[in-house]
Amino acid sequence: MFTARYTFLFILALGTISISAQPSYATSFVKRVLTHIRSEVHKDIPYGKHPLQVMDIYTPDERKKQERPVLIFIHGGAWFTGDKKSHDDKAHFYNRNDIILVNINYRLAPQNPHPSQAEDTATAIKWVHDNIHKYGGDPKRIHLSGHSAGAHIAALIGTDERYLNEKGLSFASLKSVIPVDTASFDLNERMDKGGNFISRSIKKNFGEDKSKLEDASPAYHAENKKDFPRFLIFTTAKRPAAAMQSMKFSTTLNKSNGHSDVHIIPKLSHGEMNEAMQDPHHIMSKLILDLIIDED
């Protein structure tokens, strides 16, 4: 069992140095981000029959014998808006660092309420698991991430194994889950404290029944003692509700045989947290690379 670790990262003006970061990372990290690799883009690959059940796959165009790790990314948008194309800019950074990026779309609320988004994500993971070798990816090194509502979906997939089980997969199919800035680990709490817009968004997708909201909450499933994937959680200090939920969720997960770290980033807005994922000078991208590359 792992004890929870909360890291408050104090970033200097340009966001390039963290006083809590290990000094030894700088040289290897700079070498990584200066590596010049162009991307091959495979757009709108269907993983289901619905028009929104499509994905984009970005692969480094440099061929190599060893299969590469894979990062699947889930866009945000309060479960009823958003699109994978808004995250195309992640491809350059992750491909440069020898990681295949898969951006997915999924069915949106209110026309397609929960559990449509989680089911689609599990279906996409299954497709990637079965087919990514054709693109030079390693099906044994799949990492799942998302921002905002996408972070909620990723965390739900990483704690409620039913979605993966229905596709013939398990938690072992994911090397890690990387939620970025969500306050929806506990939807009942989010409904009570989230304000009118968030409350309406939750109602549109999940309804108002507290038991159903609980079942759609990663925090509830984190109480089960299972071999969860590793979690690397990021949240901004500018959103206290997100920071508090992230810490509570991580604590629960670690008490339940999980391995979860939380990094609370100062100064960044909700949108800037998403951008920091592919900022080569930000500590967030360094930590993500450490997880995907160094620990694979």
State the pLDDT at residue 75.
99
Percent of the chain with pLDDT over 70: 87
Question: What are the sequence ranges of the domains in the chain?
Answer: 5-294
Over residues 24-38, mean pLDDT: 44
Residue 266 has a CB neighbour count (10 Å cut-off) of 11
pLDDT category of residue 8 using cuts at 50, 70 and 90: low
CATH architecture of 5-294: 3-Layer(aba) Sandwich (3.40)
Q: Yes or no: say if 273 and 235 are a contact pair by the CB < 8 Å rule.
A: yes
Handedness of CA 15, 281, 157, 48 (dihedral sign): positive
Per-residue pLDDT tens for 206-225?
Answer: 999 999 999 999 999 999 99
Q: What is the mean pLDDT of residues 252-279?
A: 96
Whole-angstrom distance, CA of residue 231 vs CA of residue 69 = 17
- Buried/exposed code over 91-123 (b: 16+ C-beta within 10 A; e: otherwise): bbbbbbbbbbbbbbbbbbbeebbbbbbbbbbbb
Neighbours of 223 (CB within 10 A): 12
| E strand segments, 29-135 | 39-46, 54-60, 68-74, 100-104
Q: Please tell me the distance from the alpha carbon of residue 13 to that of residue 10, in angstroms, as a whole number.
A: 10
Q: What tens digit of pLDDT does each residue of 166-199 get? A: 999 999 999 999 999 999 999 999 998 877 898 9
pLDDT computed for residue 1 by the predictor: 39
The pLDDT tens digits of the residues spanning 36-63 come to: 567 899 999 999 999 999 999 999 988 7
